[in-house]
Amino acid sequence: AQKITQTQPGMFVQEKEAVTLDCTYDTSDPSYGLFWYKQPSSGEMIFLIYQGSYDQQNATEGRYSLNFQKARKSANLVISASQLGDSAMYFCAMREGSGFQKLVFGTGTRLLVSP
Amino acid sequence: DADVTQTPRNRITKTGKRIMLECSQTKGHDRMYWYRQDPGLGLRLIYYSFDVKDINKGEISDGYSVSRQAQAKFSLSLESAIPNQTALYFCATSPSTGTGTDTQYFGPGTRLTVL
In this prediction, residues A21-37 reach a mean pLDDT of 93
Give just the sign of the alpha carbon dihedral A14, A80, A23, A40.
positive
Better-predicted residue by pLDDT, A103 or B109: B109
Nearest-neighbour CA in chain A from B14: distance (Å): 23
pLDDT digits (tens, 9 = 90+) for A52-108: 999 989 999 999 999 999 999 999 999 999 999 999 999 999 987 666 667 889 999
In this prediction, residues B12-41 reach a mean pLDDT of 93
In this prediction, residues A36-53 reach a mean pLDDT of 93
Question: What's the angle, vertex CA A97, arms to CA A35 and CA A105, rounded to 5?
Answer: 35
User: Which residue out of A3, A4, A35, A45 would a mutagenesis test of the B interface target, given it has the greatest number of B Cβ atoms within 10 Å?
Assistant: A45
Least confident residue range of A31-45, A79-93, B75-89, B90-104: B90-104
Number of CB atoms found within 10 A of residue A25's CB = 21
A71 near A8, Cβ under 8 Å?
no
Longest dimension (CA), chain B: 43
Question: What's the angle, vertex CA A17, arms to CA A77 and CA A13, rounded to 5?
Answer: 75
Q: What confidence category does residue A31 fall into, taking pLDDT thresholds of 50, 70 and 90?
A: confident
CB contact under 8 A, A44 and B107: yes
Distance CA A115, CA B27 (A): 37
Better-predicted residue by pLDDT, A2 or A110: A110
Check residue B23 and give its pLDDT: 97
Question: What's the angle, vertex CA A112, arms to CA A109 and CA A114, rounded to 5?
Answer: 160
A83 by DSSP, 3-state: which? coil
Of A45, A50, A108, which has the smallest distance from its Cβ to B90's Cβ? A45
Of A47, A50, A108, which has the smallest distance from its Cβ to B42's Cβ? A108
Distance CA B45, CA B64 (A): 11
